[in-house]
Structure 1
Amino acid sequence: MTLSLTVSDEVRALAPGFTHVAVEAHGLTNGPSTEASSRLLDEAAHRLAVRLDGRAPHEDPHMAAWRETYTAFGSKPSRTRNSAEALARRALSEAGLPRVNVLVDLYNAISVAHLIPVGGEDIDHVRGGMRLVRARGDEDFVTVAGGEETVEHPDPGEVIWRDDTGVTCRRWNWRQGPRTRLTERTVSGIFLLESLAPMPVAEAESAAAELAALLEKFSPGADITVHRPVVTGCD
């Protein structure tokens, strides 16, 4: 893997059933949402409705596990939902899923269909490796509020993804910073599929394989690799 991904021992202790599968892709072609990517989102919403069979997203066992984990590191899961639950709620609402760009549409479709948090980062904007850690509280998270760039800081003990520059995603997979987002200029990306027990590892791997196939379909000739997680500690 050209980009290193590490998970701290503190995070492993907090969520021993955590697994992440990475899909690394180079030579991608991105652009505005298309009829094809939009159709995938509609199909994902239908798959989600069948999967839930009338239940609310938070009643799914996997989403319930994420809520418990969010509570364990001090976040309120009914206010700051994990990315999969937030997308699922939108998918089932009258507004439906947002159309962002082709690459984001693809991974959002996989997230909704499989009820698994999925994030995408532009490798060319990540500095050093990516690390999943518990925050000290003084790390910089550069975001946009009211149309203006602003710097926030995570709560001490909050689970964050970060690189050498600062925080790339707050509250594990709640809010991504704009610096590493996938844009229409993105050509290399890393896609992270994050699961907790009781979701079987095989299901997370199946979702990753489906995402890899979609990336190959929408970016013919791209170099795409699915990586099983390597469990290592980090500072």
Structure 2
Amino acid sequence: MSLVTPSIDPRLTGIAPGFRALSILVEAAPILHPDVAPAALAKACQQVLNDDVPWADAHLAAWDDAFKAFGAKPKRTPCSAAALRKRVLKEGSLPSLDPVVDIYNAISIRYAIPVGGENLAAYCGTPRLTLADGNEPFDTLKEGQTVVEYPDAGEVIWRDDAGVTCRRWNWRQGVRTRLDSQAQTMWFILESLPAMPFPALEEAGDELVRNLQKLMPGATAHIQRLER
């Protein structure tokens, strides 16, 4: 497995002090137990409704503060974990999308943590978390059609050599690197702030890998801690 080491712009320290993440690289294997995914998603939704983690509200509030620090409006464009959990609290569940996507969404919901999943084969160069100049292309969907947008100058983005892969830190992923169960080399990023205990971040990463390996027996994983 060729390892990938994402980079974090030092300017992020002033926006989100104490930011840390887990970078998880997975080499896929054939899906033999697809029922693992919807079961994990349903369980996570029920846990949010009945047995939520104690740091959830504080962690999502900290993400709101981080978004405000680079000029985003979290009520309009919230972090990915807040958006998922809002749907669960309103509707009681989430529809199944794709086995791999369901599994990482389940981790995001359960642990109140933004989780990104990317097809690493679609990347041009190494993922990096940085501040946008404003001229980096971002491919997204509008009314079913692919369009190119550009981030605001100073916006926190994930990007590669070709452009933006995720806007407003973890609000919306692009089309080009989007992950599904057909990908062979999968990259996951679990992003946390100090309001979430570090052992919980490790637990979330371990559970993600465990569920993926139940889904795809023979899949291999490498977990790396990132800090700035």
TM-score interval (norm. to shorter)? over 0.9
Q: Does 1:132 align with 2:133?
A: no
Q: Does 1:189 align with 2:194?
A: no
Gaps of 5+ in 1: none
Match of 1:41 in 2: 41
Tell me how far 1:13 sits from its aligned partner: 2.3
1:52/1:209 CA distance change after superposition, 3 Å: closer
Tell me how far 1:35 sits from its aligned partner: 3.8
1:151/1:43 CA distance change after superposition, 3 Å: same
Q: Distance in 2 between matches of 1:184 and 1:223?
A: 15
Tell me how far 1:96 sits from its aligned partner: 2.4
Tell me how far 1:30 sits from its aligned partner: 5.4
Q: Distance in 2 between matches of 1:156 and 1:168?
A: 16
Paired residue secondary structure (1:229) = strand
Q: Does 1:2 align with 2:7?
A: no
Q: Distance in 1 between matches of 2:207 and 2:177?
A: 23
Tell me how far 1:223 sits from its aligned partner: 1.3
Tell me how far 1:52 sits from its aligned partner: 4.2
Paired residue secondary structure (1:214) = helix
1:170/1:113 CA distance change after superposition, 3 Å: same
Tell me how far 1:224 sits from its aligned partner: 1.0
Q: Distance in 1 between matches of 2:110 and 2:48?
A: 5
TM-score (normalizing by structure 1) = 0.90
Q: Distance in 2 between matches of 1:2 and 1:24?
A: 7
Paired residue secondary structure (1:213) = helix
Tell me how far 1:94 sits from its aligned partner: 2.1
Match of 1:17 in 2: 18
Q: Give the counterpart letter for 1:132 in structure 2.
A: L
Q: Give the counterpart letter for 1:193 in structure 2.
A: L
Q: Distance in 2 between matches of 1:167 and 1:108?
A: 21
Q: Give the counterpart letter for 2:18 in structure 1.
A: G
Among 93, 96, 121, the residue aligned to 1:96: 93
Match of 1:121 in 2: 118
Q: Does 1:84 align with 2:85?
A: no
Give the number of equivalent residue pairs: 227
TM-score (normalizing by structure 2) = 0.93
Match of 1:166 in 2: 163
Q: Distance in 2 between matches of 1:17 and 1:196?
A: 6
Q: Which moved more, 1:78-87 or 1:196-205?
A: 196-205
Q: Give the counterpart letter for 2:11 in structure 1.
A: E
Tell me how far 1:207 sits from its aligned partner: 0.3
Equivalent positions of 1:194-233 (< 5 A) are 194-229=191-226, 231=228
